[in-house]
Amino acid sequence: MKGLSPYPCPRRCRISSPRVLGIGASVLPGEYRVYARFHAFIDILTEAGIVGITDQADQAGPSTIILSPDLPSDLVSTVQSVSITETALSLDSLVLPIEGAQRYRETLQLPELSMPIDLQPALMLFQKILLSEAPEKSMAVVLDHSRISAFSGNFDRIMLQHFLDGAEACWREEYGQAVASLLGSGYGLTPSGDDFLCGVLFGMHFANATNRKVCPIHQLSTHLRAALPTCSVFSRTFLDHAIAGRWPLALRDAAEAILSVDTTTPDGQTRLETLFRRVLAHGSTSGSDLASGFILTAGRYSRFSPSFVSWHKERNNGA
Amino acid sequence: MVLKGFVKKGEYFDSVSLMIVSKEVNALPGIADSAIVMGTAQNKEIVRGANLYIPELFDQADDTDLLLALKADSDKVVEETLVKIDDLFKALRNKKDEGGSNFSPKSLEGAVEALPGANISLISVAGRYAGREAMRALKQGLHVMMFSDNVSIEDEIKLKRFAHDKGLLVMGPDCGTAVINGVPLAFANVLSKGDCGIVAASGTGLQEVMTIISNEGAGISQAIGTGGRDVKEAIGGIMFIDAMRALAADPATKVIVLVSKPPHESVLRKIADEIKTIKKPVVGIFIGGDPKILEAAGAIAGSTLEETAVIAAALSKGASVDDCKKKIADRKAGIIEQAKALTPKCRGKYLRGLFSGGTLCDETQLICKDMIGYINSNAPLNPEYRLKDSWKSVGHTIIDLGEDEFTVGRPHPMIDFSLRNKKITDEAADKDVAILLLDLVLGYGSHMDPLSEFVPAFTEAKKIAPELLIICSITGTDGDPQNRSRIKAGLERAGAIMMPSNAAASELAGNIIRILEGK
């Protein structure tokens, strides 16, 4: 039938012969060694830091290479040597041209605003989606006290204390304390605290651009820079980019949409929801931790009160 | 209390995996506390703070190593837990590996990018989100099948008008069945490929017709569901008409089959006008509707779903429609003889039907109406015969167990037989019940092993009431995962009288009751 042409396998697909769809602007030419292999993700390393190769376009960022459409699982498990030149990405004997691939813009370029904008509807929507989707022991706990019950053992409770103390320190602009509590705290490979701090930093950049606040970005950056040598190589790369104002594509797109999309229309809400979910799709808890830091901070410097405020008051009152 | 731990050098796990394992471990008996984290400096401090730190092990670990510490009642608990942890990590790895071999996009856009040749999207999300997702798919140039229900009529109109303007199809909302280019979607059967194209605003009606066509030796080119509301006045049959046009233009379709409950009068006029423009043979059934309108438009009207399917198959094979109708008439005469033979052996006086397919339930009521009058039901043909309590049968009763009142909080009766099985034994215990009439729908989405459900229930019913007649029909094919012939043989062994179609089963049941009532 016209328009319903036969397709051999509509439910499941494996597509071979990947091509380079996009490449982060901070990815430098050189010989890399394979550092880690994950599901649909290879991390490669040089002295400059980690570069991720993935087929998940949502993960685009300053140091990611996005392949399309599918990163073959056998390649993930077997590739040994990776080199990048100005024109090609070589994965063992597989040479993929870079020419024509998109170079991701990394810096936040927010529209000029003639007057302060009401961020409340968009941030509220972001917070709602975050709290409905975030893994239970992520840093979303700082925005939702009902999540505390997930931290059940003694070890978990001490971890939780670090999360809460760190978030509170961010709120009070005590960034030395925030970094001390959060950096390196968390369960996974990129600890939740690191992702949260990156979100806080991004929230400050966003707040500066939107409501003409002067957030103490340099204070947090200074503390973070001093502590970078203690971080894992993953976090170090990620935070290094954040301090330099280079962000994952999903985060930038979401922030730019908050300022340009009409939240009163269904289409606008759909657009925002899609972009917010892309942020949350980063890593396993990274996106949620990042979003928690961003929402807390963007709210801190705007008229939006994240739910952190109400429940934290309860906590401080001994509830 | 014992504290033990180990370090897995260079083992990377994402945080969700570690949290899952950690949660499982903390819930194990005998475990007082545990820490399963990457060995960052800060995490080591937290482990120390929780009194779980083991210096001789953890001092040398770094942020690329996995630390594991357990505080437990005994060494034995620790050993058992370590085995359990290994198993959990292996299971998580295997799960990821499985995921790695099949691409699973996280968004519609990602799926479109990954599968550039795709041209249809199946939407199965909560109703309030379904309209939005369907519109996104349409904007990507995809045809849409909406399995979701609870979509507002306003959204349905908007989607279908948009799709119509773009030359796309919207099948649904609440479209449970379609077969596109031989690919069964949602509740659908494995069919022979052929040249009969079907447009249907009825899910089980479509399944009954397409499986009979296939079983008759013909085959299906396309089976397009539109959702039941499409033929209502508000929607105006937008997709029903568009699907007819698509089949008319489809070189692989030689015979067009229309299946629906009676459309709104204004929609029926549009369909009739469209039939007049089609140069291919059209066979149709609007269950309970007036066949004259179809015939006046040049279509062949079937009186039952089975007759419609058999005529379509005959047309497909180049056989004579008159011969086909004669064959059906002969079969009907044979059913009357079968009824006469069975009647003296049965007890009681009432017919009780327990259906999983809504359209099949309607068809049975229509067929029986001409023999024994209107029947009490939770979905009656005549509103006066609506049961006051759907859970309590009165006189002749036919229940559609797929109605909302029975499916809130439980799966559809095509999947979950528990309610129907309970009612089978309840009805058997009623001495006034002469016949139990049942449908059984096979195919993808339906219960994979219906014999394991029906055979014990039939056996129990027969134990309670040996003279009870259990009459059953199967909607399905031998190609279905359940295999129609195997199921038929199994149910016959359990004492059921198996009929080739819902219409035939209804005719047999209706005739027996008619004879019992002396009509």
Contact predicate B210/B477, CB 8 Å? no
Min Cα separation A157/chain B (Å): 9
Residues 6+ apart with CB under 8 A from A117: A210, A211, A259
Min Cα separation B154/chain A (Å): 14
Return the residue of B nearest to A275 by Cα: B107
- Nearest CB among B14, B32, B119 relative to A189 is that of B14
Return the residue of B nearest to A231 by Cα: B40
pLDDT of residue B407: 73
Q: Is the Cα dihedral A301, A304, A308, A314 positive or negative? A: positive
DSSP codes, A238-262 = HHHHHHTT---HHHHHHHHHHHHS-
**Per-residue pLDDT tens digits for B165-182:** 999 999 999 898 999 988
pLDDT of residue A12: 29
Give residue A292's pLDDT band: very low, low, confident or very high (50, 70, 90). Answer: very high
Least confident of A241-245, B88-92, B286-290, B460-464: B88-92
pLDDT of residue A2: 35
Min Cα separation B26/chain A (Å): 7
Residues of A in Cβ contact (< 8 Å) with B40: 184-186, 191, 230-232
Give residue A7's pLDDT band: very low, low, confident or very high (50, 70, 90). Answer: very low
**Per-residue pLDDT tens digits for B196-232:** 999 999 999 999 999 999 999 999 999 999 999 999 9
Q: Report the percentage of chain A scoring pLDDT > 90.
A: 31
Which position has the higher pLDDT, A119 or A176? A176
- Nearest CB among B36, B100, B120 relative to A39 is that of B100
Give residue A24's pLDDT band: very low, low, confident or very high (50, 70, 90). Answer: confident
Q: What is the mean pLDDT of residues A134-139?
A: 91
Min Cα separation A147/chain B (Å): 14
B499: enclosing H helix or E strand: strand B497-499
Which position has the higher pLDDT, B283 or B63? B283
Give how far Cα B516 sits from Cα of B346, B363, B509, Å: 9, 22, 11
Which position has the higher pLDDT, A97 or B491? B491
Return the residue of A nearest to B43 by Cα: A185
Which of A34, A74, A155, A195 is best to mutate for the B interface (most B CBs within 10 A)? A155
Min Cα separation B320/chain A (Å): 27
**Per-residue pLDDT tens digits for A96-126:** 888 878 777 777 777 666 666 778 889 999 9
Whole-angstrom distance, CA of residue A274 vs CA of residue A12: 23
Contact call for B40 and A191, based on CB within 8 A: yes
- Nearest CB among A11, A57, A270 relative to B110 is that of A57
Kindly report the average pLDDT of chain A as a whole number. 82
ipTM of the complex model: 0.72
Contact call for A184 and B34, based on CB within 8 A: no
Return the residue of B nearest to A180 by Cα: B42
Give residue A317's pLDDT band: very low, low, confident or very high (50, 70, 90). Answer: low
Residues of B in Cβ contact (< 8 Å) with A33: none
Min Cα separation B36/chain A (Å): 7
Give residue A21's pLDDT band: very low, low, confident or very high (50, 70, 90). Answer: confident
**Per-residue pLDDT tens digits for B470-479:** 999 999 999 9
Highest mean pLDDT among A137-146, A209-218, A302-311: A137-146
Q: What is the CATH number of domain B332-516?
A: 3.40.50.261
Highest mean pLDDT among B1-5, B93-97, B362-366: B362-366
Residues of B in Cβ contact (< 8 Å) with A5: 117, 119, 181
Residues of A in Cβ contact (< 8 Å) with B130: none
pLDDT of residue B106: 61
Min Cα separation B100/chain A (Å): 6
pLDDT of residue A107: 79
Contact call for A193 and B103, based on CB within 8 A: no
Return the residue of A nearest to B34 by Cα: A155
Contact call for B16 and A188, based on CB within 8 A: yes
Q: Which two tokens stand for residue B202?
A: 């009825």
Contact call for B181 and A7, based on CB within 8 A: yes
Min Cα separation A23/chain B (Å): 17
Least confident of A69-83, A163-177, A283-297, B309-323: A69-83
What predicted TM-score, i.e. pTM, was given to this entire model? 0.56
CATH number for B2-94 (one of 1.10.8, 3.40.390, 1.10.357, 3.30.70): it is 3.30.70
Q: Report the percentage of chain B scoring pLDDT > 70.
A: 96
pLDDT of residue B130: 86
- Nearest CB among B37, B143, B246 relative to A187 is that of B37
Q: What is the mean pLDDT of residues B278-292?
A: 93
**Per-residue pLDDT tens digits for B397-451:** 999 998 877 876 567 888 889 889 999 999 999 999 999 999 999 998 888 889 9
pLDDT of residue A4: 42
Fold of B105-174: Rossmann fold (3.40.50)
DSSP codes, B42-104 = HHHHHHHHTT---HHHHTT--TTSEEEEEEES-HHHHHHHHHHHHHHHHHHHHHHHHHHHS--
Q: Which residues pair with A96 in a beta bridge?
A: A89
**Per-residue pLDDT tens digits for B39-97:** 888 889 899 988 999 999 999 888 878 889 999 999 999 988 988 888 888 777 666 55
Q: Report the percentage of chain A scoring pLDDT > 70.
A: 87
pLDDT of residue A11: 28
- Nearest CB among B64, B113, B116 relative to A232 is that of B64
Q: How many CA atoms lie within 13 A of A77 on its CB side?
A: 9
- Nearest CB among B12, B35, B249 relative to A189 is that of B12
Q: What is the mean pLDDT of residues B275-300?
A: 94
Q: What is the mean pLDDT of residues A14-28?
A: 73
Give residue A5's pLDDT band: very low, low, confident or very high (50, 70, 90). Answer: very low
Q: What is the mean pLDDT of residues B360-364?
A: 96
Residues of A in Cβ contact (< 8 Å) with B182: 6
pLDDT of residue B111: 76
Contact call for A69 and B132, based on CB within 8 A: no
Give residue B104's pLDDT band: very low, low, confident or very high (50, 70, 90). Answer: low
Contact predicate B225/B171, CB 8 Å? yes
Q: Is the pLDDT of residue A40 over 80?
A: no
Give residue A14's pLDDT band: very low, low, confident or very high (50, 70, 90). Answer: very low
Return the residue of B nearest to A41 by Cα: B100
Contact call for A5 and B119, based on CB within 8 A: yes
Least confident of A47-51, A112-116, B111-115, B499-503: A112-116
Return the residue of B nearest to A6 by Cα: B181
pLDDT of residue A10: 29
pLDDT of residue A69: 62
Q: Is the pLDDT of residue B282 over 80?
A: yes
Residues of A in Cβ contact (< 8 Å) with B38: 187-189, 191, 232
Contact call for A2 and B249, based on CB within 8 A: yes
**Per-residue pLDDT tens digits for B229-248:** 999 999 999 999 999 999 99
Contact call for A14 and B101, based on CB within 8 A: yes
Residues of A in Cβ contact (< 8 Å) with B102: 12-14
DSSP codes, chain A = -TTS---S-SS-----S-EEEEEETT---EEEEEEEEETTEEEEEETTEEEEEES-GGG--TTEEEEES---HHHHHH--EEEE-SSEEEETTEEEE-TTPEEEP-S--PPP-SS----HHHHHHHHHHHHHHS-TTSGGGGG-GGGGGG--SHHHHHHHHHHHHHHHHHHTT-HHHHHHHHTT-SSSSS-HHHHHHHHHHHHHHHHHHHH-----HHHHHHHHHHHGGGS-HHHHHHHHHHHTT---HHHHHHHHHHHHS-TTSHHHHHHHHHHHHHHHTSTTTHHHHHHHHHHHHHHHTSS---HHHHHHHHHHTT-
Contact call for A1 and B19, based on CB within 8 A: no
Contact predicate A11/A67, CB 8 Å? no
Residues of B in Cβ contact (< 8 Å) with A232: 38, 40, 63-64
Give residue A15's pLDDT band: very low, low, confident or very high (50, 70, 90). Answer: very low
Min Cα separation B263/chain A (Å): 25
Name the CATH superfamily housing domain B176-319: Succinyl-CoA synthetase domains (3.40.50.261)
Q: Structural domain boundaries of chain B?
A: 2-94, 105-174, 176-319, 332-516
Local structure of residue B264 (DSSP, 8 states): P
Contact call for B46 and A158, based on CB within 8 A: yes
Residues of A in Cβ contact (< 8 Å) with B239: none
Which of B51, B63, B444 is best to mutate for the A interface (most A CBs within 10 A)? B63
Contact call for A285 and B250, based on CB within 8 A: no
Give residue A142's pLDDT band: very low, low, confident or very high (50, 70, 90). Answer: very high
Q: Is the pLDDT of residue A192 over 70?
A: yes
Min Cα separation A319/chain B (Å): 24
Residues of A in Cβ contact (< 8 Å) with B250: 1-2
Residue-wise over B446-459: b if at least 16 C-beta within 10 A, else e? bbeebbebbbebbe
Contact call for B114 and A159, based on CB within 8 A: no
pLDDT of residue A319: 39
Min Cα separation B359/chain A (Å): 27
Q: Is the pLDDT of residue A13 over 80?
A: no
Contact call for B13 and A189, based on CB within 8 A: yes
Return the residue of A nearest to B15 by Cα: A188
Min Cα separation B99/chain A (Å): 8
**Per-residue pLDDT tens digits for A250-287:** 898 899 889 888 888 888 888 899 899 989 988 888 99
Q: Is the pLDDT of residue B348 over 70?
A: yes
Give residue B354's pLDDT band: very low, low, confident or very high (50, 70, 90). Answer: very high
- Nearest CB among B35, B100, B252 relative to A155 is that of B35
Give the count of beta carbons closer than 10 Å to the beta carbon of residue B362. 24
Whole-angstrom distance, CA of residue A216 vs CA of residue A301: 11
Kindly report the average pLDDT of chain B as a whole number. 91
Instruction: Say whether B105-174 and B2-94 share the same fold.
Output: no
